């Protein structure tokens, strides 16, 4: 898929990752929320006419998965991709996404997003599977950069690996700016240099979140407001992502009593990106 095709996707605006704990507040603040990102696996096989349709009728939705395990050796889980295709069609999603990682090994779920061995061979295998996903699902597929705590010498740097996979697959990038910041802090590299080394022209969606420190390590917990350093990264990429169609604020725990904490972050994101993703 060409960058121009990604840029022709519908602009969804600035929204939230849907969590059931936030349902009432989301519905009460619909005027501040352009769209929702739903966790793919939470809605596989749910009854027609239930909560999924209620969300679909009120917001544009994009499915974001955690269990495709695109980096697991061997063929794709065709049943999983078929379920994903059904979900995408059911909500009319313009794209779907998952993580550049693996979550299963030997047929067993390992319960975390695990980084991949960064080789050209691995990149080629993943790119091939991404093309299969896009063909079977029928929409663009985005891959998200993840955090990692251990790093080993590899054939490719993280930026080189992401670039090779994305460009070889012809897919889009879901750029998690919080993950960039956390990796830069924990592994002591320049986040701006990293951002300037990846294909920003293929960024369709952004993630923003906040984490916390634990024993000298910064963790991606999605439990706090977006930190100032991540807002600075958002300001940096603003205007450099011509295919950007959506920004999603993630909050998975420590939900604020005052929902204006989240709407303030949504308004801050809109102020940074201007009209680029106006729904």
List the beta bridge partners of residue 36: 16, 61
DSSP state for residue 203 in the 8-state scheme: E
Based on its alpha-carbon atoms, the radius of gyration of the chain, rounded to whole angstroms, reads 18
Per-residue pLDDT of the chain (279 residues; tens, 9 = 90+): 676 689 899 999 999 999 999 999 999 999 999 999 999 999 999 998 899 999 999 999 999 999 999 999 989 999 999 999 999 999 999 999 999 998 876 676 766 778 888 999 999 999 999 999 999 999 999 999 999 988 878 999 999 999 999 999 999 999 999 999 999 999 999 999 999 999 999 999 999 999 876 777 777 878 789 999 999 999 999 999 999 999 999 999 889 999 999 999 999 999 999 767 765
Residue 236: closest CA among 190, 172, 186: 190
Distance CA 9, CA 5 (A): 7
Contact (Cβ atoms closer than 8 angstroms) between residue 14 and residue 266? yes
Distance CA 14, CA 69 (A): 27
Residue 91: closest CA among 103, 83, 99: 83
Q: Domains in the chain, ordered, with CATH?
A: 3-273 (3.20.20.150)
The pTM of the full predicted model, rounded to 2 decimals, is: 0.95
């Amino acid at each position: 898929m060409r960058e121009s095709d990604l840029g022709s996707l519908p602009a969804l605006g600035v929204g939230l990752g849907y969590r059931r704990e936030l349902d009432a507040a989301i519905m009460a603040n619909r005027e501040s929320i352009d769209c929702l990102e739903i966790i793919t696996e939470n809605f596989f096989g749910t009854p027609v006419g239930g909560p999924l349709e209620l969300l679909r009728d009120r917001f544009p939705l994009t499915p974001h998965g955690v269990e495709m395990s695109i980096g697991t050796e061997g063929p794709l889980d065709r049943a999983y991709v078929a379920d994903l295709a059904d979900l995408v069609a059911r909500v009319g999603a313009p794209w779907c996404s998952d993580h550049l990682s693996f979550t299963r090994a030997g047929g067993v779920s390992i319960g975390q997003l695990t980084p991949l061995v960064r080789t050209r061979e691995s990149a080629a295998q993943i790119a091939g599977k991404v093309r299969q996903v896009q063909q079977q699902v029928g929409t663009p597929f985005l891959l998200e950069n993840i955090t990692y705590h251990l790093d080993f010498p590899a054939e490719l740097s993280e930026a080189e690996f992401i670039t090779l996979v994305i460009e070889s697959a012809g897919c889009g990038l879901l750029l998690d700016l919080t993950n960039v910041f956390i990796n830069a802090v924990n592994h002591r590299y320049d986040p701006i240099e990293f951002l300037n080394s990846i294909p920003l022209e293929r960024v369709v969606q952004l993630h923003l979140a906040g984490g916390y420190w634990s024993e000298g390590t910064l963790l991606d917990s999605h439990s706090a407001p977006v930190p100032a350093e991540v807002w600075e990264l958002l300001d940096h990429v603003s205007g450099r992502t011509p295919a950007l169609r959506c920004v999603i604020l993630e909050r998975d725990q420590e939900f604020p009593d005052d929902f204006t904490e989240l709407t303030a972050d949504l308004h801050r994101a809109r102020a940074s990106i201007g009209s680029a993703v106006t729904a």
